[in-house]
A = this chain, B = another copy of it.
Amino acid sequence: MRITSSIEYATRLMVTLAAEHGKAPLPAERLAEIDNVPADFVSQILVKLRRAGLVTSHRGSAGGYSLSRPPREVTIEQVVRAVDGSVFEEVCERYDAGSKDCRHQGQCAISPVWTKLGEIVTRYFESVTLAAILEQKAGSCGAVPAWLEKLAPGK
């Protein structure tokens, strides 16, 4: 399982924009420099973020991108969904869509495992805001959350 470059880059961009929230908009090219992401790729990603309503663009000189909402109202879940379309795929659709011998219908034992994993990942992403990431030195992001500690290790 992996984090794609789109997700990694989009998160960098959003964190940078969050740090600049309230100030002048940042041009895409400037963002590319700051976050060390290929310039043309940055534009592609920003388009997706804009279409998802997460950033606002301003054309002309002194234009650029800025956050549409304050950092504490933007979650990683929103960012991931904006660039990848969804947080976690529907496994059943992928492997057995419409087929009679679907292993995920009715008595299927495995399907709930993937479904629950998707919930867990989604909920975690929903719990992390850009503001929390910016404040991580205070421990609001880097620390393992209490609910995670409660999960008994397997075996």
**Judging by beta carbons under 8 Å apart, are B109 and A155 in contact?**
no
A124 CB within 8 Å of chain B: yes
Q: Kindly list chain B residues whose C-beta atoms are within 8 Å of the C-beta of A2.
A: 1, 88-89, 91, 94
Given contacts A1-B1, A3-B114, A12-B103, 13 further A-B contacts (CB under 8 A): A1-B2, A1-B3, A2-B89, A3-B89, A8-B94, A36-B103, A75-B154, A113-B141, A117-B125, A119-B144, A126-B153, A127-B151, A145-B151
| A22-30, A42-50, A54-62, A129-137 - interface stretch | A129-137
Alpha-carbon distance A134/B90, docked complex (angstroms)? 22
A11 CB within 8 Å of chain B: yes
**CB closest chain-B residue, reference A130:** B109
**CB closest chain-B residue, reference A8:** B95
**Judging by beta carbons under 8 Å apart, are B148 and A123 in contact?**
yes
**CB closest chain-B residue, reference A150:** B147
